[in-house]
Amino acid sequence: MSKKIGVIGAGHMGGNMARCLADAGFSVYVYDNVEAVAEQYRDCAEICTTLEEIAKHCDYFLTSLPNGKVVKDVLVEKGFLKLLKPGDIVFETSSTMPEEVEFCAKEAEANNVYLVDCPISGGPKEARNGKLIMIFAMKEEIRERCQDIIDCLGAKQFFVGEQPGSAKAVKIVNNTMSMGNLVVASEAFSLGVKYGLDPQKLFDILKVSGGTSNQFSKRFQKVVDDDYEPWATVEISYKDLSLAIDWGATKNIPMDVARLARSYYEKAIAENRGKEDMVSVYHEFL
């Protein structure tokens, strides 16, 4: 019998992970508080209309929610963790403060449920094709029970220990570097373009040179092609940097560079580019 996996939050990431899991032969159930969003996945999953319903059907769960406040609301305030059976496993994949997932993990433990701190890196395409980068904090015996789920979704897997929150911390650090790299790359690339260099030739050289970054090599072909269809939006970049800045405040780190980077995404949002791909921040340097 295939494992029954409940996906809570059927946005671009959660929905595409649901499809990936279904393709691999898992029995997938989907819940979203916007029923029309969940209905998009009826072809590959059973649609649940309440948290009680999805809790009843599944033993493994994956939450993909907008922010830490919503995660705490669903798991704790609305009592989802109390609906689960002892031994059930919840993969929490959202971007949150480490302390927020620590709190939820304690609530899970009090209900004899396992919460896996499991942020992900990658976009909807990677979620759909099982090519995500997955960062985990979990006990080894839990990993053994769900390695097949991990293998289905994650092309790269990193285990950072047992302490909930440590994986979220890695994700915040990664996001801060990624969004900051993109701003610096945008400024530098515009310098070459304004001089008159051919954008395609410039990109081809820079993506294999010392100044490159993962975000540059992944995204700047979109700049060359004037293609700003979103893989991850400007709004998401602003949100992720805001999370890093807020977390930094709890550690007495001013995050001045992150604040400067965020200001460019904020400008892009003000110019109605918030729904475009994050690389649209390049326009702020034209």
Cα 42 to Cα 15, 65, 153, 157: the distances in Å are: 11, 19, 20, 29
Q: Is a pLDDT exceeding 60 seen at residue 138?
A: yes
Q: Is a pLDDT exceeding 80 seen at residue 259?
A: yes
Q: What is this structure's pTM?
A: 0.92
Q: Is a pLDDT exceeding 70 seen at residue 1?
A: no
Query: Within 13 Å and on the Cβ side, how many CA atoms surround 106?
Result: 6
Residue pair 38/14 in contact (Cβ under 8 Å)? The answer is: no
Residue pair 217/279 in contact (Cβ under 8 Å)? The answer is: no
89-101: pLDDT as tens digits:
999 999 999 999 9
Task: Assess whether 133 and 156 both reside in one domain.
Answer: yes
Task: Give the end of a domain, one of 163, 198, 228.
Answer: 163
Strand partners, 27: 4
Cα 197 to Cα 184, 221, 247: the distances in Å are: 18, 15, 40
3-state secondary structure of 89: strand
Q: What is the CATH number of the domain that holds 206?
A: 1.10.1040.10
Number of domains into which the chain is organized = 2
196-229: pLDDT as tens digits:
999 999 999 999 999 999 999 999 999 999 999 9
pLDDT of residue 209: 97
Q: Which residue has the tokens 């702020």?
A: 284
pLDDT of residue 2: 83
Task: Give the end of a domain, one of 116, 139, 163.
Answer: 163
Residue pair 17/30 in contact (Cβ under 8 Å)? The answer is: no
Q: What's the pLDDT band for 182 if we cut at 50, 70, 90?
A: very high
Task: Assess whether 129 and 236 both reside in one domain.
Answer: no
What does the alpha-carbon distance between residue 7 and residue 195 come to, in Å, rounded to a whole number?
A: 49
Q: Mean pLDDT over all residues of the chain?
A: 96
Task: Assess whether 117 and 156 both reside in one domain.
Answer: yes
- Which helix (H) or strand (E) segment holds residue 92: the answer is strand 89-92
Task: Assess whether 173 and 212 both reside in one domain.
Answer: yes
Residue-range definition of the domain harbouring residue 154:
4-163
Burial, 110: exposed, middle or buried (Cβ in 10 Å; 0-12, 13-18, 19+)? Answer: exposed
Task: Assess whether 84 and 196 both reside in one domain.
Answer: no
- For 134-170, give one letter per residue: b (16+ CB within 10 A) or e: bbbbbeeebeebbeebbebbbeeeeebeeebbbbbbb
